[in-house]
Chain A
């Protein structure tokens, strides 16, 4: 093959590296208006009244639309239409929209939305699935029960199986919400279309034909009156479907009501709140097995949180019921899965689609069964794993494709040197107290495409031009995964032309038939076949026109490659096309591909669920810091049978990205929602992996060509993500000997074996559902010439705030309603510089964190400061953020403060014509509180050069590899006498108390003495009492107290 299987540069790469690629928010149209959404103020309740009068009076507001303005069907949804696009008389979750505003600018639209007063009869919602399933309070009374779907699966007789088993165990697993975290938020534009009295919608749309269906129904239009054109998608991962559909409906409504184009781009906070997530699952597994590890019987009972709407729950949970028992042949299986309504954020498709949850449970269970039988994870899987001809839980015989479970396990574990590491780490862990290393594996089988969940067919158009170049269009959609490239490769390979001569033409929904959604890793296998169907038709026609020249009678006697068609004679493809065109042949063809038959019995859960399957295995190597609960992932080896690689570059990219998302799911990503109120508002509170979070990923491509797939190809998108969390959980257990039955493995989950979040009372929910708008309402900016002028401005102007780097100030301005006057001191020379004077180093207030880090004087005298400030925010933050800003913000977790406090830093304040010097302890009075007076600003930070020769130990604890808000930090500086006793010791803390401070009581115990275990224990005792006294009652002290004490002991031990 010439093109298929190679590393190919993606087709849309050029536009993307030049900034020319158009995404939803980049669309700008003449006379375009903006939409803003008024979200509910409470997650659950009745709407008593909506008062839009204040909003309407705002200059620039064009129109406000409520439920009564809806033209067509007021509810949408893929199976059950249960979501009011604009709320009618009730609200069901925090992301519900009660009104929409049209205005001449984004800012005005958002300000107006805030002016809409809604009165509610607030109700206690249902937030816990175990409560919901009892049906004591109905989330949606109209459906009579909270259970919206129940799939049973029955194979054999589980009771018999349990009776025949030597061991029967029961385990319960839990997974949380998971946010897609696409970097582009939802962004849509709607334009009235007078040509068909309809509407066109553009933007970040994953499944344009689905969006068209919903918009048409909502507006009471025919499908041919709504045309959808996708922009480039800035990531989707299953996430830009249902939510995008509801936003598209709203923005289209405004376009129709006003006759003007409208745009909306959600702020990250709005996106976090409104968009659906991955379903949280509670999973009960009961399993019976023999002492030799053979599993006889498995009973699975799963409860899924669908949130306020059913959305894709019908489909998501169906995949779970097929795959819940993993790639293992078990004679007796009984699985039940139910999805229930709650008043939480609703849940729907996310890459994996009901599989990552069950894989986590199933693969954790396999390791445990192995352990109970004295078998290794490899042995237990070899014993029970699928082989050629195995029968699945749904009774399907795996015979029409290569069952490569063993192969992927072997390849992934060999790449990891799994068995060697198991032994190595056993030894390592015996001698290492604090850090524990582990390796763990997990594997999966996954049905390709939609399977029996729905009709599975898709479309493609290939159009060859008279010069031999051509276009490919498909009913499936580029989500960023590289689908355009893959399809063009398939078309070019089939036609025997080079990759560059084919171009992907993104069709609007009007231009191609509904090819189903771009989901279920069905793009390559389904769409690729549709492309091949089209090229085959064209090839026939080209052949017909050229067969005399080729000298053969049958197309089977020809080969097509390198731009030539070869029969007995060779004809240039381009010439053949020219000839065919002028002979009147149609060189365009509509390709269609319908998947092979599948079957399903709803009563028994038996049938041939999917026409083919893929197999994957991932192995994780990680280190656990048992003193803090932090997991560092060292490496993940990922072996995936993809059938056949089409674009190796894209394929590896899918594996890298999927593995990283899986790591986030398993370790970092905890969507905090309490009483229906979303606490993970932005990407500082919902943390996704950074470049520093997985050290190594090794993609291993396994190819067993599929009988059905185009060139044998199957899929990779979802398999790459679904296994990561499970193998990490197993590696964690291998490292620590402790099994976690819940993910993510956050610091607190690892350390305390429970998630720890700031508790919130239900009664506060109403107050805290306020939106953060992505607008800055009113700002005046002044650029003073010197600090005297700056001080004067601070005194004279209303609501005056200093701004230097802006890394805190600008964030504070977002969504603020009151006008602010910014006094920009960023370019004042007198606030810059680092100088040595009289045994002190004087740092200008606006010296940037990065400049200080790189300053030789600072490096020489204050190495602990250099180390500590290196972890402030990201590089971009350190380049802009100033030292005075970090101090004046007075955050309890500010990273500059522990070293500044330890080094005895002072701040020089200037204001009201005079200067004053304060120690940091005097200056900072509490969390986010300082002594700064009106008209004052920090002029410089003064650091006395230490008179003693201190060695230091610094530890900063963050949740991930970089860009952390410190959970805790500790600096110990110690100078020793020649006899080894402590000459002086300074200990300061960060993120522990309301402000950074020295632990003087503890220091006193240590001063002058010789460090030994006994002394450390004495100091520890004092520290414990101190922490207890200061923060003992706080929610976080359960974690922070013991961890800080651990860090304290570790730090002191370094000085023994």
Chain B
């Protein structure tokens, strides 16, 4: 089925297999492999992307639901070879170890920061509660988000 949607500010008109999920469309059809799959059931958050301003599990959105949607993935955070403050802050605070959860973490964090530029700890925890990280114990990630302005 043909779907018209926007990914990272670019318009696409794609003949997508309706059995694909947004995650598959991104990774397989558009070659945007920054978005990861960890569980396929919305439990780990590795596949998180921003859809119309909200962080969503791309493993739970079907391709046929994408008409007119605006998607943003981790590949859009670096602009003109400059990292975003959020990315810089993740690096500075050691919020990245194996890096597999990082794209999803960044997108959940960005969705929050786009709405709430200086979030409270509770708001950060709520925004990231669906993003599992097995390496960092989360503390450096929280610090990175809290200090994003100080980069």
Contacts and interface: CB of A to CB of B under 8 A. Distances in A.
Interface in B82-103: 83, 87, 90-94, 96-103
Contacts of B129: 690-692, 874-875, 961-963
B60 A811 contact: yes
Nearest to B103: A19
A826 B54 contact: no
Contacts of A12: 99
B133 A183 contact: yes
B88 to A, nearest CB: 8
Can you list the 5 inter-chain pairs with the closest CB atoms, starting with the nearest?
A19-B34, A874-B130, A480-B98, A234-B100, A781-B64
Contacts of B113: none
Contact of B132 (A7, A17, A19, A688): A688
20 contacts: A10-B91, A23-B100, A181-B134, A234-B36, A268-B40, A655-B137, A656-B138, A657-B133, A690-B129, A697-B137, A774-B37, A779-B19, A779-B62, A781-B18, A824-B64, A874-B45, A875-B55, A877-B57, A880-B54, A880-B60
A268 B38 contact: yes
B120 interface: no
Contacts of A661: 134
Contacts of A9: 91-92
B42 A807 contact: yes
B149 interface: no
A806 interface: yes
B148 interface: no
Contacts of A268: 38-41, 44
Given A20-B34, A653-B136, A810 B21 contact: yes
Contacts, number: 266
B67 A783 contact: yes
Nearest to A662: B137
B91 A822 contact: no
B126 interface: yes
A874 B42 contact: yes
Contacts of B20: 776
B15 interface: no
Interface of A: 7, 9-10, 12-23, 25-26, 28, 107, 180-185, 232-237, 265, 267-268, 479-482, 649-650, 652-653, 655-661, 682-684, 688, 690-692, 694, 697, 774, 776-783, 803, 805-807, 810-811, 814, 822, 824, 826-827, 850, 873-877, 879-880, 961-963
A807 B42 CA distance: 7
A653 B73 contact: no
A684 B41 contact: yes
B139 A656 contact: yes
Nearest to B77: A18
A898 B108 CA distance: 29
B19 A776 contact: yes
A233 B96 contact: no
Contact of B65 (A180, A824, A850): A824
B130 A183 contact: no
A659 B137 contact: yes
Contacts of A803: 62, 65
Contact of A235 (B1, B19, B39, B98): B98
Nearest to A664: B134
B128 interface: yes
Nearest to B68: A827
Nearest to A269: B40
B103 to A, nearest CB: 5
Nearest to A660: B137
Given A657-B134, A688-B134, A691-B138, A267 B40 contact: yes
A232 B87 contact: no
A20 B137 CA distance: 23
A480 B62 contact: no
Given A653-B97, A810-B61, A963-B130, 19 more contacts: A16-B99, A19-B34, A25-B33, A232-B98, A235-B98, A268-B40, A481-B135, A657-B97, A660-B137, A661-B134, A682-B41, A683-B41, A691-B142, A810-B62, A824-B62, A827-B65, A827-B68, A875-B108, A875-B126
B7 interface: no
Nearest to B47: A876
Contacts of A19: 32-35, 73-75, 103
Contacts of B140: 652-653, 656
Looking at A10, A234, A480, the one whose CB has the most chain B CB atoms below 10 A away is A234
Given A810-B62, A811-B41, A657 B135 contact: yes
Given A235-B98, A880-B57, A17 B106 contact: yes
A690 B132 contact: yes
Nearest to A26: B33
B63 interface: yes
Given A479-B98, A822-B64, A876 B41 contact: no
B71 interface: no
Contacts of A21: 99
Given A652-B94, A661-B134, A18 B75 contact: yes
A805 B46 CA distance: 18
Given A9-B92, A184-B98, A822-B18, A876 B62 contact: no
A21 B106 CA distance: 15
A760 B90 CA distance: 45
A127 B125 CA distance: 40
B77 A17 contact: yes
Nearest to A235: B98
A482 to B, nearest CB: 7
Nearest to B97: A480
Nearest to B18: A781
B132 A683 contact: yes
A803 B31 CA distance: 26
Contacts of A962: 125, 129-130
B69 to A, nearest CB: 9
Contacts of B73: 19
A452 B74 CA distance: 46
A826 B132 contact: no
Contacts of B75: 18-19
Residue from B34, B62, B67, B90 with most neighbouring chain A CB atoms (10 Å): B62
Contacts of A17: 74, 77, 83, 87, 90-91, 96, 99, 102, 106
- The CB with the most chain B CB atoms within 10 A, among A16, A236, A480, is that of A16
B39 A657 contact: no
Nearest to A267: B40
Nearest to A9: B91
Contacts of A14: 83, 91
A810 B60 contact: yes
A961 B122 CA distance: 12
Contacts of B108: 875-876
A806 B137 contact: no
A697 B32 CA distance: 35
A479 B135 CA distance: 10
A481 B96 CA distance: 10
B97 A184 contact: no
Contacts of A782: 64
B42 A873 contact: yes
B102 A822 contact: no
A351 to B, nearest CB: 10
A112 to B, nearest CB: 17
B94 to A, nearest CB: 4
B31 to A, nearest CB: 8
A774 B130 contact: no
A876 B64 contact: no
Nearest to B28: A28
Given A18-B74, A776-B21, A183 B62 contact: no
A879 B96 contact: no
Interface centre among A25, A26, A232, A877 (most CB of B within 10 A): A877
Contact of B125 (A107, A235, A692, A776): A692
Nearest to B94: A649
Nearest to B133: A183
B89 to A, nearest CB: 10
B72 to A, nearest CB: 12
Contacts of B31: 28
B135 A880 contact: no
